[in-house]
Amino acid sequence: MSDLVVIGLELAVVLTGMGVLLAELWVSPAQRRRLGQGVALALGLVLLASFAITLEPSRTAFGGMYVLDELALFFKRLFLLAALLVTVIALEFADRFEAGHSEYHALTLFALAGMMFAASAQHFALLFVAVELVTVAFYVLVSFTRRRVTALEAGVKYLILGALASAFLVFGIALVYAATGTLAFEALAGRLETFTGNRLVVAGLLLVGAGLGFKLAVVPFQIWVPDVYQGAPFPTTAFLSVGSKAAGVVLLLRVLFEAAPELTARSGPLLPLLAGLTMGYGVLGAIPQRSLRRLMGYSSIANAGFLLVGVATRTGEGIGAVLFYLAGYVFAVLLVFLVATLVWRGAETDEIPALGGLSRRAPGLAAALTLGAASLAGIPPLAGFMGKFLLIRAAIQGGAENPTLYWLAAITLVAAVVAIYYYFGLVRAVYWGEEVTGAGSVPVSRPARLALVVCAGGVVGLGLFPGLVLGWARQAATGLSF
């Protein structure tokens, strides 16, 4: 029974998902929008309940496979907030779903549960099950608008490449177990002093890294991102951008700094190299894009590189910067996707020039989109600027022990400057683009208006007053071994 109490947040999410599926049996088609509103309310209550949890000391469940510590709780709150805002986006997109409103919300909740379990993974078995729960749910969510050929194409690509990534992951886990005889992170860390030079262990952990690299969209495992983002429905793309990426980050941190800290310390220039290549690929690929979702796909790749900068420092300062950056990233990305969903609610296009004239039709939405794009571009005093500043500072501070980080800091600065160009392409289209013929005013519902305020407030608040969230982020990083 005590184990069930420890996983209370995940149980609440899973039970809500099952309840939504059952509730549709008694709800008329005209009232099904209220199911999504109920999901948003339930997620809000679970998020509030998470702040009542005390962690003195950290709690474990299922024989130590699951841990509820500061790092896990930070990510669980982040996932809950992201899912809540994505549910609001899905409400605005609901008219595009031919059927299956409850199924969409339930799959979103099951993916959320997988992310929350991933945040607490202390065992490779739980890691694999959590990753598969997230991935299988997204297989369906990506191709949910099944009458669109692009959605089906995106779903097939995600299915094939996701299955390949899962194969890498499970084969890597098998090699680690074959060499060390354990799948528990704590036990593995204790035995790696003996197995540091074992090629089987190194190969296994590299394959595990490849599987997690797919979730993060790190080079060379990023090729699926632009096509899948473009074909998936807006709320799915939004959740992939923030939820799936954050899940990859927390799992990478658990593996690098809890399961294999000895090997991580000896990884040399591998992490800085991956960070630089990923940033370069993302920012250069984003420059010519005209599709908003493809642009955000390449942006997602570039941001995976920015996140790896903090990981590559292998310091508490760097990891704290990663967590803070993720918090600001969630608000900025979801702000952009929410505005795009409202503007293109009934349209098939996502071409950036189609935003032309938005500043005259809906000045509030134009301002919100500008705010989100400016934060992603790293314009002060917004959250994106503070996040990039903290990452670059952590890299420079770490350069005294690892001079490679000086080069990485320089590359990060150049990538951030290049990113300004394509993000401000959105602003140019909104304020100076040619007005779309026949486009009228854009209605905004109360839940969407509230979500816009929350996202805009997060983008501005984290930039002007970073202390509270940055304190949480640094506290969450203290349990890792550097």
Query: Is residue 424 a part of any domain in this protein?
Result: yes
Q: Which of 126-140, 146-160, 202-216, 389-403 has the lowest mean pLDDT?
A: 146-160
Range of the domain at 275: 268-482
- Determine the pLDDT at residue 1: 46
Stretch 115-137: mean pLDDT: 93
8 A C-beta contact, residue 455 and residue 334? yes
| pTM summary value | 0.94
Claim to verify: residue 321 and residue 463 sit in the same structural domain? yes
Helices (H), 70-123: 70-93, 101-119
Angle, helix 8-23 to helix 33-50, in steps of 10 degrees: 170
In the chain, the number of structural domains is: 2
CA angle (7, 243, 66) in 5-degree steps: 25
Query: Is residue 376 a part of any domain in this protein?
Result: yes
Claim to verify: residue 231 and residue 325 sit in the same structural domain? no
Claim to verify: residue 290 and residue 241 sit in the same structural domain? no
Claim to verify: residue 224 and residue 315 sit in the same structural domain? no
Q: Which residues contact 246 (CB under 8 A, 6 or more apart)?
A: 75, 78, 79, 82, 115, 326, 330
Q: Taking 90 as the threshold, does the pLDDT of residue 27 lie above it?
A: no
Q: Tell me: the pLDDT tens digits for 72-116?
A: 999 999 999 999 999 999 888 776 666 667 888 899 999 999 999
Q: Which residues contact 163 (CB under 8 A, 6 or more apart)?
A: none
Spatial distance between the Cα atoms of 476 and 246, rounded to a whole number of angstroms: 14
- Best CA proximity match to 79, nearest among 294, 264, 243: 243
3-class secondary-structure state, position 382 = coil
Residue 122: pLDDT band with limits 50, 70, 90: very high
Query: Is residue 96 a part of any domain in this protein?
Result: yes
Claim to verify: residue 415 and residue 452 sit in the same structural domain? yes
Claim to verify: residue 16 and residue 80 sit in the same structural domain? yes
Claim to verify: residue 240 and residue 388 sit in the same structural domain? no
Q: Which residues contact 458 (CB under 8 A, 6 or more apart)?
A: 327, 328, 330, 331, 383
Claim to verify: residue 239 and residue 355 sit in the same structural domain? no
Angle, helix 101-119 to helix 8-23, in steps of 10 degrees: 170
Claim to verify: residue 435 and residue 301 sit in the same structural domain? yes
Claim to verify: residue 103 and residue 238 sit in the same structural domain? yes
Claim to verify: residue 242 and residue 112 sit in the same structural domain? yes
Query: Is residue 211 a part of any domain in this protein?
Result: no
Query: Is residue 182 a part of any domain in this protein?
Result: no
Query: Is residue 257 a part of any domain in this protein?
Result: no
Query: Is residue 181 a part of any domain in this protein?
Result: no
Spatial distance between the Cα atoms of 382 and 377, rounded to a whole number of angstroms: 10
Claim to verify: residue 296 and residue 150 sit in the same structural domain? no
Q: Which residues contact 45 (CB under 8 A, 6 or more apart)?
A: none
Query: Is residue 206 a part of any domain in this protein?
Result: no
